[in-house]
């Protein structure tokens, strides 16, 4: 009788061990699947972003949180005035800027006015009252820059406080990893910005 009790006890312990091992294995499988899904999402659909600094003010404020459209960049094309998420590999730094000039175009600023291939282009996204506060200091003149294949001229919306193509030069297609932004925090900025 005692042997039967011990055998039952051993079987129960084995079952507990098997159940624990199965639970751990299930947890590991779930974790691995989640990691693969997150990796696919971040590399092919949308990448989480956090805006740092005021270079895109007032369109995007510092510490805004959201997602950038990776899919739209990988399988679409960049257009003038898209918001671009740029990764500078050598500096391990991310930038959020606006596409101003496209490949093959000649871009210049004269008296604070954008000219592309000699034609004046309006920039309706710039905040007029904020811009007026700066007067002539908002955007300095930029000598003509002719962009090569796969090159983009990108600027921050807050021109006096932005390090952009005026500092780094043209950004290449492979440096731009996503476009647009869906901001979910702060709630006052909730929504799509140039998706």
pLDDT of residue 24: 79
d(CA 94, CA 85): 7
69 and 145 inside one domain? yes
What total of structural domains would you count in the chain?
A: 2
Point out the catalytic residue in the list 97, 162, 165, 193. 97
157 and 62 inside one domain? yes
103 and 181 inside one domain? yes
Point out the catalytic residue in the list 5, 11, 12, 55. 55
Quick one: which of 131, 129, 137, 146 has its CA closest to 111? Answer: 137
39 and 73 inside one domain? no
35 and 119 inside one domain? no
1 and 68 inside one domain? no
36 and 59 inside one domain? no
Task: For the chain of 195 residues, list the mean pLDDT of each consecutive stretch of 10.
Answer: 54 64 81 76 76 90 91 88 94 93 96 94 88 85 95 96 95 94 88 73
28 and 80 inside one domain? no
Active site residue 79: no
Active site residue 55: yes
83 and 143 inside one domain? yes
Q: For residue 10, give its domain range.
A: 1-44
31 and 61 inside one domain? no
68: CATH = 2.10.109.10
99 and 146 inside one domain? yes
82 and 175 inside one domain? yes
């Amino acid at each position: 009788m005692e042997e039967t009790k011990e055998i039952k006890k051993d079987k129960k312990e084995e079952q507990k061990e098997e159940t624990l091992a199965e639970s751990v294995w299930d947890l590991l499988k779930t974790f691995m699947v989640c990691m693969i899904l997150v990796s696919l999402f971040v590399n092919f659909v949308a990448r989480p972003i956090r805006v740092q600094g005021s270079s895109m003010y007032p369109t995007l404020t510092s510490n805004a949180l959201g997602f950038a459209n990776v899919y739209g960049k990988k399988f679409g094309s960049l257009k003038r005035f898209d918001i671009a998420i740029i990764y500078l590999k050598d500096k391990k730094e991310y930038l959020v800027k606006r596409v101003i000039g496209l490949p093959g175009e000649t871009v210049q600023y004269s008296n604070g006015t954008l000219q592309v291939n000699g034609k004046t282009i309006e920039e309706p996204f710039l905040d007029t009252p904020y811009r007026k506060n700066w007067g002539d200091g908002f955007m300095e003149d930029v000598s003509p820059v002719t962009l090569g294949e796969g090159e983009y001229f990108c600027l921050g919306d807050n021109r006096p406080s932005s390090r952009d193509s005026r500092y780094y030069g043209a950004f290449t297609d492979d440096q731009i990893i996503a476009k647009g932004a869906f901001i979910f925090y702060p709630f006052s900025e909730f929504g799509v910005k140039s998706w």
